[in-house]
Each structure stands twice: as C-alpha cells, then as structure tokens.
Amino acid sequence: MNFIKLFQDYDIPMLPDKNGTWANVDCPYCDEEKGHYNLGFNCGGNYYHCWKSVHSYPIQKILSDVLSVPMSSIPEILDQYNGGSKIVERRKSKAKYLELPTDTFSKAERKYLKSRDFDPKYLHKKYNIVGGGIDGPWKFRIIIPVYYQGKLMSWTGRSILSKKKLKELGIPRYKNLSIEKSVKNIKELFFNIDNCKSDTVVLTEGAFDVLRFDGNAICSMGTELTEGQINLLSNRFRKIFILFDNEPEAQEKARKFGLQLSAIGVEVEVVNFYEDFNVNDMGDCSKEQIAIIKKELQIN
C-alpha cells in the first residue's frame, strides 16, 4: 500500500522514514500539537501504529479520519493505492476428515526424539505426535498434527535425517500436508492452540519450540503470519509474548507483527531470552533456562 503517495495526493502533512517503509502523520486521536507525526502507516504490511498510544480502530476508520473522507470512500481508495484489484485463484482445502498416517513411532524415530531429550510416549499422549513410518511420503519424519477445536486440520512433518543427508537428497527439513489435502490450511492455524487454556500465550516459530516449552505456547510454523492467523490471535488471546529465534531477521519479523497486533488492540511483548542465554532457539535451552522464561513471563 503506497501510503506515502496517498498522503501526498490528499495534502496530508507527512514525514516518511529514510527507507520509505513508514508514512508518519499526526494522529487524530492523540491530544498532541501538530507536527509530531506519531501515527505511522507501514507501506509493506498495510497496518498502522501510533508511537504515542495504542489505538484499536480498524485501519479503514483511521484512514477515514486522517483523510477527512467518508468511510464509504475508503475501499475505493485502498484499491487505488494498492495498485488495483487482481483476481487470484486461491488454493483451497478440500478434505472433510483426516487420519494420521500412523499411530506409533519407528525405532529410528523414537531414537531421534530421545536424542533430543524428548519422551516419545509423552509427546504422543499429550500432542498426539506420531512417526511417518519407514515408507511412503512421510517416511523418516515426525508428524506434528495441528488441531483446532478438537478436530484434526492438517499436519507438518519434521525430518529425522541429518542436515548433511537432507542437503544430499535435496529434501526440506519440514514438509506440510498440502492445502488441498488438509481440512484447513495450516498457515491459518497454530500448533497447540487447543491446549492453551488462558488468554496469555507465548508465540514461537517452530513446533519443537512449543514441545520444549511444554506449556501455554503456540507456533506459527515460521516467522510469517497470515491475515487469518492474526485474526485468530486477536480473537483468542489478550496478551502475547512473541519469542522468535535469536536471529536479526526473525527479531525484525517479531517486531513487525508485534506492531501489527498492537494496532488491533492485542497486548504484545517481543522478548528475546535466547540472547541472554547465548542460544538460538528454545531447542537449545536447558530445562533450567525454560523454567526461568516461564517464571519471568508468569506463564506455564
């Protein structure tokens, strides 16, 4: 969304940042003198953030008040400054019901989990995690099922092969069940959301982060969040701690989605205990370090 051009065309005093990522204008809701430019619109993510206070208005209302135009005009304006509408055929989930490919672990899969200090029986009992078997499309993978409201929607498979072997064979470490074969697209959901009982949650990148934390945590299957995932978070949780991997790109994504969620009224904290522990992710944390995280966040 080209907010910079939009505000220029409507003669709205605006201060873009040096990278052209944010278009900053005066916030119509803050009791501030003009010229503070405290309301920023992100040109890449199509969301806003007030640097002075939190506003949970829909972006359409914010733009209506900033531009001094009726709400009925906003859809056409959004279309125009997004570069016009384009009809794209979306992949759709077609399955009505799913069954996991197996109901147990192979000897190699069990050995892999134990080598990472996991109890296969516990993972199967609590999360219904199984192995992919020794043959077929899910062979040599740990199957991590994604449930929503008690129904199996999809799954992802984590290879038990070494990094070297994966590179030699040219296969990915993680493989999701295709959208068409899923009941619902896995990127519209979160692993372990059904097990979360409070309105506060830790959002991590990967499923093994959730398994290591073994508490009120979910994962987004990567550092990208879809609109569906953002809506699900905002409807389900009051407060979210974003705990992405200790890498610059992941931390930047955490801040980006933290701002986006804050803009729609969710209380968000971006935290990075991994930097303090000198590790990369939850999988590298000891039990003592995870206990510290839970205590600091006051979450189980």
22 has a pLDDT exceeding 50: yes
Position 70 confidence tier, pLDDT thresholds 50, 70, 90: confident
Contact residues for 249 (Cβ-Cβ < 8 A; gap 6+): 223
Whether 204 and 263 map to the same domain: the answer is: yes
145 has a pLDDT exceeding 60: yes
| Percentage of the residues of the chain whose pLDDT score is greater than 90 | 55
Cβ atoms of 66 and 39 within 8 Å: the answer is yes
Mean pLDDT within 234-258: 93
Whether 126 and 156 map to the same domain: the answer is: yes
**Residue that has been written with the tokens 């971006």 in this structure:** 270
Whether 171 and 204 map to the same domain: the answer is: no
Tell me the CATH number at 282: 3.40.1360.10
Residue after which a domain boundary falls, among 137, 162, 187: 187
Whether 230 and 256 map to the same domain: the answer is: yes
Rounded Cα–Cα distance for residues 286 and 114 (Å) = 15
Whether 13 and 69 map to the same domain: the answer is: yes
Residue 84: predicted pLDDT: 37
Classify residue 156: in a domain, yes or no: yes
Q: 16 φ, ψ to 5°?
A: -75, 155
Mean pLDDT within 173-190: 92
Residue 32: predicted pLDDT: 63
Whether 183 and 272 map to the same domain: the answer is: no
| Percentage of the residues of the chain whose pLDDT score is greater than 70 | 96
Residue 33: predicted pLDDT: 63
Residue 46: predicted pLDDT: 74
Whether 121 and 146 map to the same domain: the answer is: yes
Per DSSP, the three-state class of 26 is: coil
Contact residues for 300 (Cβ-Cβ < 8 A; gap 6+): 215, 216, 294
Position 90 confidence tier, pLDDT thresholds 50, 70, 90: low
Residue after which a domain boundary falls, among 145, 166, 187: 187
212 has a pLDDT exceeding 50: yes
Residue 109: predicted pLDDT: 97
E strands along 43-101, which residues?
A: 47-50
If one compares 216 and 167, the residue with the highest pLDDT of the two is 216
Position 223 confidence tier, pLDDT thresholds 50, 70, 90: confident
Provide the residue range defining the domain that includes 67: 3-81
Tell me the CATH number at 112: 3.90.980.10
264 has a pLDDT exceeding 90: no
Contact residues for 179 (Cβ-Cβ < 8 A; gap 6+): 91, 92, 93, 185, 186
CA end-to-end distance (rounded Å), the chain: 39
Per DSSP, the three-state class of 288 is: helix
* Average pLDDT along the chain: 89
38 has a pLDDT exceeding 90: no
Mean pLDDT within 176-193: 93
Cβ atoms of 153 and 189 within 8 Å: the answer is yes
Position 206 confidence tier, pLDDT thresholds 50, 70, 90: very high
How many other CB atoms are there within 10 angstroms of residue 196's CB atom?
Answer: 17
